[in-house]
Amino acid sequence: MDTLRYGGFDGAEIAVAQMGTGRPIILLHGLFSSGEMNWRRYGAAAEIASAGYRVIMPDFRAHGASAAPHDPAAYPHDVLALDIEALIGQLGLTDFDIAGYSMGARTLVRLLARGLKPGKAIIAGMGLEGLIGGTARADFFKQVVKQPDGWPSGSPEAFAAAFMRQNKVDGTAVGLLLDTFVSTPLDVLRGLETRCLVLCGKDDRDNGSAPALALELPGAALVEIAGNHMSAVTKADFGTAMAAWLAHAQ
């Protein structure tokens, strides 16, 4: 596996791991996570690569091995989409697929809304309300970033704070990043023409309803696997479902 360095929209360093050969697919990870955590640790990237894909896994800014600037100017609205657009240009990609989990799925949809034209897209760990809604989800994480300690044991906040600590997240940088999220209007979702798979854990309602999202996207397929928002991505079925759909979707 190769790990290379590219420049984000403003030149900030973006770490990108790659494995496999064949048709390119970009995999976008979730908040407080990384390409290693979401895609490599539990085997999804290897399964997709074995199906004949060149798997490209950037770490978003403020995550993983990428830069985590503290300058507010480094965090305009849609900054993650801006970075991926810059990466696609530097890699010279013109015919490729793309997938994202949670925040990565949100970023994927923003890319589609901004005019990206991949062959196929997989929107994972995401529901309708997480895309068209307000700032409630970002506000939840802002509270955790601001106050990482003292939450009741077993609470969603405590789980999020523990995940943030586990992945050594830079709280200042991620706090700035959370202010960059942009909602996507329902009419824009309904106008997206890219062939999509909506993939989600059956018990995952963290970002709203995945079935409702699939109904609003033209021609989208829906696959639900066992698990909730934190566990579904760790299941063998996750990578298997992605590879199978990529192989058979027309």
Longest dimension (CA), the chain: 50
Instruction: Give the pLDDT score at 138.
Output: 85
Torsions phi, psi of 34, nearest 5?
A: -165, 170
Per-residue pLDDT of the chain (250 residues; tens, 9 = 90+): 778 999 999 999 999 999 999 999 999 999 999 999 999 999 999 999 999 999 999 999 999 999 999 999 999 999 999 999 999 999 999 999 999 999 999 999 999 999 999 999 999 999 999 999 877 788 889 899 888 888 999 898 999 889 889 888 899 999 999 999 999 999 999 999 999 999 999 999 999 999 999 999 998 999 999 999 999 999 999 999 999 999 987 5
Question: Using CA atoms, how far apart are residues 227 and 51, in angstroms rounded to an integer?
Answer: 24
Which stretches does DSSP call E strand in 21-140? 23-28, 53-58, 97-101, 120-124
Interstrand relation of 53-58 and 2-7 (parallel, antiparallel or unpaired): unpaired
Q: Are the C-beta atoms of residues 199 and 249 closer than 8 Å to each other?
A: no
Q: Are the C-beta atoms of residues 223 and 245 closer than 8 Å to each other?
A: yes
Instruction: Give the pLDDT score at 250.
Output: 58
Q: Can you tell me which residue has the tokens 């897209």?
A: 121
Residues 6+ positions from 4 with CB-CB distance below 8 Å: 15, 16, 18
